[in-house]
A and B are shown apart, each in its own frame.
Chain A
Amino acid sequence: MLTLDSKIPSGPIKDAWTKHKNDLRLVGPKNRPKYKVIVIGSGLAGASATASMAAMGYQVECFCFQDSPRRAHSIAAQGGINASKNYRNDGDSTWRLFYDTQKGGDYRAREQNVYRLAELSTSIIDQAVAQGVPFAREYGGKLANRSFGGVLVERTFYCRGETGQQLLLGAYSALEEQIAAKQAKMHTRTEMLDLVVVDGKAQGVVVRNLETGEISSHAADAVVLASGGYGNVFYLSTNAKGCNVTANFRAYRRGAGFANPCFTQIHPTSIPASGDYQSKLTLMSESLRNDGRIWVPRDPDEKRTPSDIPEAERYYYLEERYPRFGNLVPRDVAARNAKDVCDNGLGVGPTGYGVYLDFAAAIADKGVDAVKSKYANLFEMYERITDDDPTKTPMRIYPAVHYTMGGLWVDYNLMTNIPGLYSIGESNFADHGANRLGASSLMQCLADGYFIIPVTIGDFLSRHEPGQYSTENEELKQAEAAAKDQINRLLSVNGSRTTQSFHQELGKIMWEHCGISRSEESLKEGLRKIPALREEFWNNLKLPGAANELNQSLEKAGRMVDFFDFGELMCRDALLRDESCGCHLREEHQTPEGEAKRDDNNFSFVSVFEYKGEGKEPELNKEKLSFEALPLADRNYKT
């Protein structure tokens, strides 16, 4: 049984964070250099945390697997970042951003965390502007805003379609400033393989230098995981190729609780895979559904080009099934229906997994120039990838895995149940509940890194003597030996199948059994298939190269080991959560319109899994959620 003390401050939610900060213990400026903190990952959360803690005076060492911290996948976020500045005078407030986020998450998040996120949102914009992030401006030179899905105000700040890039470069430059000042140290091309826990406290990590293959350990007073999400368990996702679950999963194996692993956000409009060789998926903005009509041919054997198919032989399935909302049904409903028609053989494109998004009607109505100018960069991106001009032939789209709300369980201080181990950004579970609103992920990463962890970590550190760690202890040596042992095992299988083929097959299992919609039967089947595939992996893996060199095949195989076990954990969580909520749709629990039907009496808790050993079933722990500030309500986007 895990001890899950969420450390939520008592009293009114509006004063909770201020009160909590005032109650936290601090480390004085003279003592901070005596403490060493390790940060894993250099995305928005990791870079901002490293820069902020280093600037305070702590010794911080940051690790990333890329060749530079600037390349972390936060860089690919397009749309924008929310902040309740209320610049538009349209009634926005901290409360409203809190309300929208909690409702979007379908009431499966801890409300005090969500409120704090909304409260900190405005400071993030101030911080980013001070760093030189060139946000879009209006004619008078003031910051511009746009609106985003699921809300009724304009509160999204943006830099064209590259907001994530600019915010990350801001955090990266702050990090580089601290490296120059010798406050922070960066280890690039270095991957975390294990967490070291001594006397119940996180005391360091085991890492592999990806160029030389050298395994080494680093000890510290505290460890912060900012290692991102696990969408790549599906093989195909909008994540970067290197994104993986290893750091988080190894922490779980060392005793950290893993919360809500089954909560995966699936985006309805990405460019479909064009063949088995497909390596990743690219997102197209959902705004396209405002002007596009979604359809598939009625005849599964249809061979004509889309423009030759007469109106009567087209199946506008969203318009027919949901006459009131048509093509603008919520994300998850759009995604499920696309999968449904394709599973019934009506899909289009070379793989049969795609549906048309047709702009012909909008072009006939508004003219080609008007439609083109509205979506210029999206049309250009689509044409670059597919070689089709969306003004001449319908786009093809299909849902794709995009973001994972689950992650390591953390308390209000963002500390896991292992003392000294923190988790920030996408790698924790804290703020998005069962679904994340658009433009909220950047906000969460930066709130965690710039404003929360620099304060809360002091409370932990101040209670411990600095430097009470060693690189010589038994736990560290054992963890190093285990990491080397796994590499040797992988290299000695000498089978005939590559990691990529196993990953693709696991991805298909996850998509089929734990994807857009889940059912008891299919999840149980998934839970049978994964161990069988894992067994084949350990008996039939073909892995070229050696351990002590730059070996990308070995990196992939190592990550694969954890994807298998993690995929199983996801299915288990999805099976135990016998309700629908947010992105998690159990076919047994839906409204007549196909929307998620929550079961608040039995499932308003966070599922926290506890590792029980190799081959043993993990134990489910529950953190009961309370809804005092914002009473439970249906997630209704219709009226």
Chain B
Amino acid sequence: MKIKLHVWRQKSRTDKGSMESYDLDNVLPDMSFLEMMDCLNEKLTADGEIPVAFDHDCREGVCGMCSMVINGEAHGPKAETTTCQLYMRHFADGAEIYIEPWRASAFPVMKDLVVDRSAFDRIIQAGGFISNHSGPKPEPNSIPIDPQVAETSLDAATCIGCGACVAACPNGSAMLFTAAKASHLGLLPQGQTERYSRSQTMVNQMEAEGFGSCRNYAECEAQCPKGISIAFIGQLNSDFLKASLVEPVDRRGKMESQ
């Protein structure tokens, strides 16, 4: 196959950046998209040019590192598929492919296709956990969990934190990511104690990071490589509303003052 690539090149955070074009021959249909990118980089290196920087690691669709907008869609044209699990057979011979980084003000570009997603970590720090110390814990079977509930919780927990939802959203909103974590924990009995405070602290952090607001475009669900449902956004909104109707409780502050 012959492919014409248009790739976003940007030297650093402060560089303006631009699209550059490259022709690539000898692309094989059984190559993964990232193996095609490897070939491009080998060629650029051989030609004395600087290879394209892109994030990738497990190449099995689960680490969430790879992050390319391909022909305008986060992770490319195939539904429920990360960039690393996309194959060149999904493109026609002679195709022109446009490759861009995630575009969102909360995800600044560091170089070429590499973006800074540390905002996601800070949203988790704001409450995406069940407070715990390591050590002896109650016998798990003493708290039975309806398998249906456990499955729904896992549907949410399966989020790989790649950021495709943000890249897909016209508003650059991180609601699907935030809702997936809040729902994963909020559905389980262990997560009840902090359920409502969590919905507030995580949403507040999300807004502080500069992510946009959710307007139910549902592009996030359509482009999510793990097919996470926007129904979880509904659940987060409901928890957030309930939490805002009662006096906020500062558990941590009280604990620490004791």
Task: Establish whether residues B140 and A143, one from each chain, have CB atoms under 8 Å apart when the complex forms.
Answer: yes
Closest to B26 in A: A277
Stretch of B31-39, B92-100, B211-219, B237-245 that contacts chain A = B31-39
Does residue A233 face the partner (Cβ distance < 8 Å to B)? no
Closest to B57 in A: A240
Question: CA A55 – CA B55 in complex, angstroms?
Answer: 31
B153 / chain A contacts, CB cutoff of 8 Å: 132, 134
Task: Establish whether residues B57 and A177, one from each chain, have CB atoms under 8 Å apart when the complex forms.
Answer: no
Closest to A350 in B: B30
Closest to A211 in B: B110
A172 / chain B contacts, CB cutoff of 8 Å: 124
Task: Establish whether residues A176 and B136, one from each chain, have CB atoms under 8 Å apart when the complex forms.
Answer: no
Task: Establish whether residues A130 and B28, one from each chain, have CB atoms under 8 Å apart when the complex forms.
Answer: no
A98 / chain B contacts, CB cutoff of 8 Å: none
Question: CA A138 – CA B140 in complex, angstroms?
Answer: 13
Task: Establish whether residues B190 and A498, one from each chain, have CB atoms under 8 Å apart when the complex forms.
Answer: no
Residue interface bits A275-298, CB-to-B below 8 A is 1, else 0: 101111010000000000000000
Question: CA A545 – CA B52 in complex, angstroms?
Answer: 11
In the complex, chain A residues 112-165 whose Cβ is within 8 Å of any chain B Cβ: 123, 125-127, 129-132, 134-144, 159-160, 162, 165
Task: Establish whether residues A498 and B63, one from each chain, have CB atoms under 8 Å apart when the complex forms.
Answer: no
Q: CB < 8 Å: which of A138, A279, A450, A496 contacts B38?
A: A279
Does residue A500 face the partner (Cβ distance < 8 Å to B)? yes
Task: Establish whether residues A137 and B125, one from each chain, have CB atoms under 8 Å apart when the complex forms.
Answer: no
Question: CA A56 – CA B127 in complex, angstroms?
Answer: 20
Does residue B227 face the partner (Cβ distance < 8 Å to A)? no
Task: Establish whether residues A55 and B134, one from each chain, have CB atoms under 8 Å apart when the complex forms.
Answer: yes
Shortest Cβ distance from A76 into chain B, in angstroms? 5
Stretch of B68-76, B81-89, B165-173, B228-236 that contacts chain A = B81-89
Task: Establish whether residues B191 and A126, one from each chain, have CB atoms under 8 Å apart when the complex forms.
Answer: no
Closest to A139 in B: B147
Does residue A464 face the partner (Cβ distance < 8 Å to B)? no
Shortest Cβ distance from A579 into chain B, in angstroms? 35
Task: Establish whether residues A126 and B51, one from each chain, have CB atoms under 8 Å apart when the complex forms.
Answer: no
Does residue B111 face the partner (Cβ distance < 8 Å to A)? yes
Q: CB < 8 Å: which of B30, B60, B62 contacts A275?
A: B30
In the complex, chain A residues 373-395 whose Cβ is within 8 Å of any chain B Cβ: 384-387
Question: CA A160 – CA B124 in complex, angstroms?
Answer: 23
Q: A132-B190, A277-B35, A385-B85 are in contact. Are A123 and B136 (CB under 8 A)?
A: yes
A70 / chain B contacts, CB cutoff of 8 Å: 64, 121, 161
Task: Establish whether residues B185 and A127, one from each chain, have CB atoms under 8 Å apart when the complex forms.
Answer: no
Shortest Cβ distance from B147 into chain A, in angstroms? 4
Task: Establish whether residues B141 and A87, one from each chain, have CB atoms under 8 Å apart when the complex forms.
Answer: yes
Question: CA A451 – CA B62 in complex, angstroms?
Answer: 27
Q: CB < 8 Å: which of B59, B120, B129, B154 contacts A159?
A: B154
Question: CA A130 – CA B64 in complex, angstroms?
Answer: 25
B158 / chain A contacts, CB cutoff of 8 Å: 162, 165
Does residue B130 face the partner (Cβ distance < 8 Å to A)? yes
B81 / chain A contacts, CB cutoff of 8 Å: 384
Q: A70-B161, A132-B185, A166-B154 are in contact. Are A140 and B121 (CB under 8 A)?
A: no
Task: Establish whether residues A550 and B154, one from each chain, have CB atoms under 8 Å apart when the complex forms.
Answer: no
Does residue A589 face the partner (Cβ distance < 8 Å to B)? no
Does residue A48 face the partner (Cβ distance < 8 Å to B)? yes
Task: Establish whether residues A176 and B129, one from each chain, have CB atoms under 8 Å apart when the complex forms.
Answer: yes
Residue interface bits B143-161, CB-to-A below 8 A is 1, else 0: 1111100110110011011
Does residue B118 face the partner (Cβ distance < 8 Å to A)? yes
Question: CA A501 – CA B124 in complex, angstroms?
Answer: 40
Shortest Cβ distance from B239 into chain A, in angstroms? 15
A240 / chain B contacts, CB cutoff of 8 Å: 57-59, 63
Does residue A427 face the partner (Cβ distance < 8 Å to B)? no
Q: CB < 8 Å: which of A48, A141, A180 contacts B134?
A: A48
Does residue B114 face the partner (Cβ distance < 8 Å to A)? yes
Task: Establish whether residues A450 and B154, one from each chain, have CB atoms under 8 Å apart when the complex forms.
Answer: no
Question: CA A87 – CA B160 in complex, angstroms?
Answer: 31
Task: Establish whether residues B45 and A542, one from each chain, have CB atoms under 8 Å apart when the complex forms.
Answer: yes
Q: CB < 8 Å: which of B62, B117, B134 contacts A52?
A: B134
Question: CA A240 – CA B55 in complex, angstroms?
Answer: 12
Task: Establish whether residues A131 and B129, one from each chain, have CB atoms under 8 Å apart when the complex forms.
Answer: yes
Does residue A337 face the partner (Cβ distance < 8 Å to B)? no
Shortest Cβ distance from B116 into chain A, in angstroms? 7
Q: A160-B154, A277-B31, A550-B110 are in contact. Are A125 and B129 (CB under 8 A)?
A: no
Shortest Cβ distance from A283 into chain B, in angstroms? 8
Residue interface bits A248-289, CB-to-B below 8 A is 1, else 0: 000000000000000000000000001101111010000000
B132 / chain A contacts, CB cutoff of 8 Å: 55, 127, 130-131, 174, 177
Task: Establish whether residues A140 and B134, one from each chain, have CB atoms under 8 Å apart when the complex forms.
Answer: no
A67 / chain B contacts, CB cutoff of 8 Å: 55, 65, 116-118
Does residue A68 face the partner (Cβ distance < 8 Å to B)? yes
Does residue B56 face the partner (Cβ distance < 8 Å to A)? yes
Task: Establish whether residues B60 and A68, one from each chain, have CB atoms under 8 Å apart when the complex forms.
Answer: no
Q: A173-B130, A387-B89, A550-B114 are in contact. Are A277 and B137 (CB under 8 A)?
A: no
Does residue B139 face the partner (Cβ distance < 8 Å to A)? yes
Residue interface bits A430-469, CB-to-B below 8 A is 1, else 0: 0000000000000000000011001000000000000000
B204 / chain A contacts, CB cutoff of 8 Å: none
B51 / chain A contacts, CB cutoff of 8 Å: 544-545, 552-553
Task: Establish whether residues B53 and A552, one from each chain, have CB atoms under 8 Å apart when the complex forms.
Answer: yes
A129 / chain B contacts, CB cutoff of 8 Å: 137, 140, 143, 190
Does residue B50 face the partner (Cβ distance < 8 Å to A)? yes
Task: Establish whether residues B42 and A165, one from each chain, have CB atoms under 8 Å apart when the complex forms.
Answer: no
Question: CA A160 – CA B44 in complex, angstroms?
Answer: 41
Does residue A71 face the partner (Cβ distance < 8 Å to B)? yes
Shortest Cβ distance from B242 into chain A, in angstroms? 20
A489 / chain B contacts, CB cutoff of 8 Å: none
Q: Which of A73, A123, A138, A544 has the most CB atoms of chain B within a 10 A radius of its CB? A: A544
Shortest Cβ distance from B176 into chain A, in angstroms? 16
Task: Establish whether residues A279 and B134, one from each chain, have CB atoms under 8 Å apart when the complex forms.
Answer: no
Q: CB < 8 Å: which of B38, B60, B134 contacts A127?
A: B134
Closest to B59 in A: A280
Task: Establish whether residues B157 and A55, one from each chain, have CB atoms under 8 Å apart when the complex forms.
Answer: no
Does residue A242 face the partner (Cβ distance < 8 Å to B)? yes
Shortest Cβ distance from A89 into chain B, in angstroms? 13
Task: Establish whether residues A174 and B129, one from each chain, have CB atoms under 8 Å apart when the complex forms.
Answer: yes
Does residue A66 face the partner (Cβ distance < 8 Å to B)? yes
Closest to A180 in B: B125
Closest to A501 in B: B42
Question: CA A56 – CA B132 in complex, angstroms?
Answer: 11
Task: Establish whether residues B35 and A279, one from each chain, have CB atoms under 8 Å apart when the complex forms.
Answer: yes
Task: Establish whether residues A130 and B65, one from each chain, have CB atoms under 8 Å apart when the complex forms.
Answer: no
Task: Establish whether residues B184 and A275, one from each chain, have CB atoms under 8 Å apart when the complex forms.
Answer: no
Does residue A169 face the partner (Cβ distance < 8 Å to B)? yes
Shortest Cβ distance from A400 into chain B, in angstroms? 12
Does residue A547 face the partner (Cβ distance < 8 Å to B)? no
Residue interface bits A162-190, CB-to-B below 8 A is 1, else 0: 10011001001110110110000010100
* Residue ranges of B at the interface with A (Cβ–Cβ < 8 Å): 11-12, 28-32, 34-35, 38-39, 41-42, 44-46, 48-51, 53, 55-60, 62-65, 81, 85, 87, 89, 110-111, 114, 116-118, 120-121, 124-126, 128-141, 143-147, 150-151, 153-154, 157-158, 160-161, 184-185, 188, 190-191
18 contacts between A and B (CB under 8 A): A71-B63, A72-B63, A76-B58, A130-B132, A134-B150, A136-B147, A137-B145, A141-B144, A166-B154, A180-B125, A188-B118, A274-B28, A277-B38, A279-B35, A542-B46, A544-B44, A549-B12, A552-B53
Known: A87-B141, A140-B144. 18 other contacts (CB 8 A): A52-B134, A68-B118, A68-B161, A73-B57, A130-B190, A134-B151, A141-B144, A166-B157, A169-B157, A173-B124, A174-B132, A174-B134, A188-B118, A275-B31, A279-B32, A279-B59, A496-B46, A553-B45
Q: Which 3 A-B pairs have the closest CB atoms?
A: A141-B144, A173-B129, A126-B137
